Amino acid sequence: MSRREAPLADAPLAARMRPTSLDGFVGQAHLLGPGRPLARLAASRRVASMILWGPPGTGKTTLARILADAAGARWISLSAVLAGVRDVRAAIADARAHPDTPTVLFIDEVHRFNKAQQDAFLPHVEQGTIVFIGATTENPSFEVNSALLSRTRVYVLRPLSTEDLETLARRAMDKEFEGMDIEPDAFRSLVANGDGDARRVLNTLEIAAQLGDGTITAEHVEFAGGQGYRGFEKRGDAFYDQISALHKAVRGSSPDAALYWLARMLDGGCDPLYVARRVARMATEDIGTADPRALQLALAAWDAYHRLGSPEGELALAQAVVYLACLPKSNAVETAFNAAREFVATHPSYPVPARFRNAPTRLASELGHGKGYRYAHNEPDAYAAGERYLPDEMEDVRFYRPSRRGIEGRIADRLATLRDLDQSSTARPASDTGTTSETSGSSEE
């Protein structure tokens, strides 16, 4: 269509409140404030191909339409949930039929188009047949083809602030529900439950107003809002951002922040068993031998959730998260393991020294398998000082360099003592090179 049609009287409140110019648009000051990129674009009465990325209810569709109107462009809107390549081709044909007027082809939820569908835009964007505007709640870097990304600009929309949502709610009360009151607690609840989503606030307000008899109460808002979840989509950007924040809070020894992100994820509908798996990883990746009990508790919490389910089992996860956050941290085992894997991948496959080989048969014994092996339990302090367990052709290497934190500090002291015994021992294998290759990160010994 070439001009905006007024919303129907029975359209949802969010549609009736949709602004038609930037003057009425609320939020996104980083894009629309004085001198900001989209404000300059609208003032120039031009529109360019772009992708608007942001959470639901932040104004992506509304903003795209306002920019198209400011440029005097024709407007064709498709939803990637319902449309296919045939619909795209029809839109392109429509645009070609009006060569004297720019046509904006808006694709909502563009990340739902597959590669072939996204590729269908490319030549027409390059030729100027259409101006492409896509809207997505997912990270375009992962969900949009690189070829299409290279032909567009990406603008990030942010969740609306509390002040923005209050402005929208008051504006709706004045325009649509004149003469109706809303209790202060109800208003605060309405905005808080919006969680940055303008559409959620307006839809909740509309239902609450229908329930109220001249006055909207907190009870009306609670009923109208239903059982909503915070901004969180399983396997979406919010999912990975929040689990990342939880992991970093544990690593950073902040139990309060860790509990906050755990509660946010569970409140958003995250599978607690996914959290349990990640907590087990935290125990090995960030604590390791600084406190081996971390992994035991993480696995115990995982098992407890299996046995108890929600909500009781979630407390076990909270216990594990708090405990891990409070422990000394060390990534020495992870660093050592990565260094060992890298070494193995880039060096020859050295043979096992004969003294360490198994000798289950006479032939194996005749070949010298097991000959000269020193049984550690028969040595002083159960340690065969001077023995090397690496291949004879290989230099000494040190992958594991324990930190001084927690139990790992005692491990570091013991390993240092054993190295002193090795140095003072005369029982070094003849093939020992006497040198050590440093293959891991910096030591804190």
- Mean pLDDT value across the chain: 86
Q: What is the pLDDT of residues 140-168, one digit of tens each?
A: 887 888 888 888 899 999 999 999 999 99
Q: What is the pLDDT of residues 290-320, one digit of tens each?
A: 999 999 999 999 999 989 988 899 999 999 9
Cα–Cα distance between 221 and 193 in angstroms, integer?
9
Task: Find the distance separating the first CA and the last CA of the chain, reported in whole Å.
Answer: 71
> Which of 107-121, 209-223, 241-255, 430-444 shows the lowest per-residue confidence on average (mean pLDDT)?
430-444
77: nearest Cα among 91, 66, 93: 91
**Quick check: 262 pLDDT over 90?**
yes
CA 192, 194, 197, 201 torsion-angle sign: negative
Cα–Cα distance between 98 and 398 in angstroms, integer?
72
Rounded alpha-carbon distances, angstroms, from residue 95 to 81, 86, 124, 435: 22, 14, 10, 74
The enclosing H or E element of 87 equals helix 85-96
Using the 8-state DSSP alphabet, how is residue 283 labeled?
Answer: I
Check: CB of residue 134 under 8 Å from CB of residue 206. no
The residues pairing with 153 across neighbouring beta strands, listed in sequence order, are 50
Q: What percent of the chain has pLDDT over 70?
A: 91
Strands 215-216 and 153-156: unpaired
Tokens 């880039």, located at residue: 346
Query: In the predicted model, what is the mean pLDDT of residues 319-324?
Result: 95
Query: In the predicted model, what is the mean pLDDT of residues 250-257?
Result: 94
**Quick check: 71 pLDDT over 70?**
yes
pLDDT at position 237, please?
60
**Quick check: 62 pLDDT over 90?**
yes
pLDDT at position 236, please?
56
Is the pTM of the predicted complex or chain greater than 0.75? no
